[in-house]
Amino acid sequence: MSVLVRIAPSPTGLLHIGNIRAALFNYLFARKLGGRFMLRLDDTDSTRSSAEYAQAIQRDLSWLGLTWDLFGRQSDRLARYAEVLGELKNKGLVYPCYETQAELDLKRKTLLGRGLPPVYDRAALRLTDADRAARDAQGIKPHWRFKLEHTETVWDDLIQGPKSLPAASLSDPVLVRADGVPLYTFCSVVDDADDGTTHVIRGADHVTNTVVQIQLWQAVTSAPVPIFAHMPLLVSATGLEMSKRLGTLSIASMREEMGIEPMAINALLAKLGTSDPVAPRLSLDELVQEFDMARISHATPKFDLEDLRSMNAKILHLTPFASVLDRLAAQGLESVDETFWKAVRANIEKIADVRNWQRIAQGDYSPVLTEPDFLKEAAALLPLAPWDETTWGTWMDGVKARTGRKGKELFRPLRLALTGLDHGPEMKYFLPAMDRDRVLSVLEQ
């Protein structure tokens, strides 16, 4: 089987962490099996879709490295959807409905008030030809529903295992609105059939949709039904559903406001909800090799921004200088060289933090002078410039021999004086970035 998977986001907003988890799993699955990954924009609703969001979706996926092999827009295929709808009409598999949204809402509320499931009552099927003709004459445009077979729908889910759901528990789905706009479920099945989609990997909130899509697929094509895989949805660190919070977790905000690295997002999401340990990875290739659908757990994974920040730091601590040149430049840190990067990378959570250490190296900080007499002794032994990675060790050997100090008693007062902090980069790497005259001035204050 030549694997083809897809994601079909709507360009009505920014991609969030939930969208990306689905995209990532599809991407890793396709790459692991030598298949293809498709980006298909669900943009048939022109009143809600925008070119700005379509561009943002492509920008975010590209930034994450989730490059697609195929691209499509559902808005380019309206004629095809109309053609398939005509075929379904000829087969008697769809029927026109004339209820307004207000009437449907009232029916729904009435059923819920009686403790019944809000399933459409198929009232439109009881209309006579004369009833429909009268409504058409009044200019009332119908929406079109697909008539489900009230049988048990079964499939073998790659993640959840054997599934069986009764179609009678669902409303006949609307395929095309009264204004002529085809809806996602319909477009998705037609596209999947035409494209040759082999696997549909998505969140568990789409499980019931599978019943509709399998029946609709069988009505549209004789090709084999795709293999479905439904992964548990993310919840917050406190266990709450994240659907209402996802707007604050857009990929754009993580990149532009939080300074998160793309591989921090990929590495964390690839392992959340799996039996694999969460660990930093520097490339998607590593995640591809490790990906295994069988390792996805049935348990609900928890997403915590603090875990993402921690992953971001761990990845930066391992990232070579060549990989951050462009991002340093984007932060106005072109003057940072490889030696300085190696010195500070283990002490940053995001690229922008390099600026704080650069500021300290340039003397823009408040020295903490705890032992003035000791600092003056150390100043007298300060090696001449230029400095390199051996300078700090040579200097400490001299100070130790002169004062008898060692360990924390030796290093801490000097670190406080030279950085204003009791923690930070290894001084053997950090000292060469500092100006000798400024260091001498601080120690002799």
pLDDT tens, position by position, 192-241: 999 999 999 999 999 999 999 999 999 999 999 999 999 999 888 877 76
Instruction: Assign 246 a pLDDT band (cuts: 50, 70, 90).
Output: low
Q: How far apart are CA 245 and CA 158, in angstroms?
A: 28
The half-sphere exposure of 426 on its side-chain side, counting CA atoms within 13 A, is 14
Would the pLDDT of 255 be above 60?
A: yes
- As given in the structure block, the two tokens for residue 181 are 């706009």
Instruction: Spell out the CATH class of 372-443.
Output: mainly alpha
Q: Fold identical between 1-68+232-318 and 69-231?
A: yes
Instruction: Assign 248 a pLDDT band (cuts: 50, 70, 90).
Output: low
Q: Is 86 exposed, middle or buried (0-12, 13-18, 19+ CB in 10 A)?
A: exposed
Q: How far apart are CA 121 and CA 127, in angstroms?
A: 13
Among 312, 428, 414, which Cα is nearest to 370's? 414
Q: Is 392 exposed, middle or buried (0-12, 13-18, 19+ CB in 10 A)?
A: buried
Radius of gyration of the chain (CA): 31
The reply to whether the predicted model has a pTM over 0.85 is yes
Q: How far apart are CA 47 and CA 37, in angstroms?
A: 28
Instruction: Assign 247 a pLDDT band (cuts: 50, 70, 90).
Output: low
Q: Quick: pLDDT tens for 268-313.
A: 999 999 999 999 999 999 999 999 999 999 889 999 999 999 999 9
In this structure, which CATH number among 3.40.50.1110, 3.40.50.620, 1.10.10.10, 3.40.50.300 belongs to the domain 1-68+232-318? 3.40.50.620
Instruction: Assign 58 a pLDDT band (cuts: 50, 70, 90).
Output: very high
What angle is formed at CA 157 by the lines to CA 156 and CA 163, rounded to 5 degrees?
65
pLDDT at position 83 is: 97
Q: How far apart are CA 386 and CA 431, in angstroms?
A: 11
Among 245, 233, 213, which Cα is nearest to 296's? 233
pLDDT at position 244 is: 47
On whether the CB atoms of residues 190 and 219 are closer than 8 A, the answer is no
Q: Per-domain residue ranges for the chain?
A: 1-68+232-318, 69-231, 372-443
pLDDT at position 10 is: 94
Mean pLDDT of the region 333-339: 90
On whether the CB atoms of residues 302 and 268 are closer than 8 A, the answer is no
Instruction: Assign 149 a pLDDT band (cuts: 50, 70, 90).
Output: very high
pLDDT at position 288 is: 97
User: Does residue 163 come out as left (phi exceeding 0), alpha (psi in the -120 to 50 range) or beta?
Assistant: beta
Q: How far apart are CA 140 and CA 142, in angstroms?
A: 6
Q: How far apart are CA 56 and CA 331, in angstroms?
A: 21
Mean pLDDT of the region 393-409: 95
Q: Quick: pLDDT tens for 156-174.
A: 999 999 999 999 999 999 9
pLDDT at position 239 is: 74
Lowest mean pLDDT among 51-65, 233-247, 326-340: 233-247
Tell whether domain 69-231 is in CATH 3.40.50.620: yes
